[in-house]
Amino acid sequence: MNDSIETLKEGRKGRQRKAQRTGCAVEVTLSVIGGVWKPVILFHLLQGKLRFNELCKRTSSATPRMMTLQLRELESDGIISRTVYAEVPPRVEYELTETGRSLEPILLTMRDWGSRYQSQ
């Protein structure tokens, strides 16, 4: 009927695909923030820019490897920006872009729903 899930799955790593001849825009959103890590990362970035290690700690102690992979994808989707400071020791800060901040309603709604669900 459509190939949007294929697009979606490839989107989780094989980026750059457009297709989406589906009518279900939900799948588009999932292709960008889908997965278990990204929404959490983005949620923490709502508070402001954060450094790499800080993000690792806040995201349930994600391993550097996973964090790097997720951040790269988010960056290539234009959701976050990456700023490298030429210092010693190195410092890299991640920040939401304009597009990234537009996800705020989704993330906040998810947080609120989670709170309510948790307390039954």
Say how many residues touch a copy of itself, by CB under 8 A. Answer: 49
Closest C-alpha among 85, 73, 10, 86 to residue 42? 73
91 binds, among a copy of itself, DNA, none (CB under 5 to 8 A by kind): DNA
Q: Which two tokens stand for residue 87?
A: 């210092």
Taking CB under 8 A as the criterion, the residue among 45, 50, 55, 62 binding a copy of itself is 62
**Span from 19-27, 46-54, 100-108, 112-120 in contact with DNA (CB under 7 A):** 46-54
**Span from 37-45, 67-75, 81-89, 90-98 in contact with a copy of itself (CB under 8 A):** 37-45
Q: Which two tokens stand for residue 43?
A: 């949620």
Considering the rule CB under 7 A, would residue 66 count as an interface residue with DNA?
yes
Considering the rule CB under 8 A, would residue 19 count as an interface residue with a copy of itself?
no
Q: Let me know: does 37 contact 55? Beta carbons within 8 Å.
A: no
Q: Let me know: does 34 contact 28? Beta carbons within 8 Å.
A: no
Q: Let me know: does 35 contact 70? Beta carbons within 8 Å.
A: yes
Return all residues near 39 (Cβ < 8 A) that are at least 6 apart.
33, 107, 110
Considering the rule CB under 8 A, would residue 97 count as an interface residue with a copy of itself?
no
Which residues contact a copy of itself by CB under 8 A?
1-6, 8-9, 12, 20, 22, 24-30, 32, 34-37, 39-40, 43-44, 57-62, 99, 102-103, 105-107, 109-118
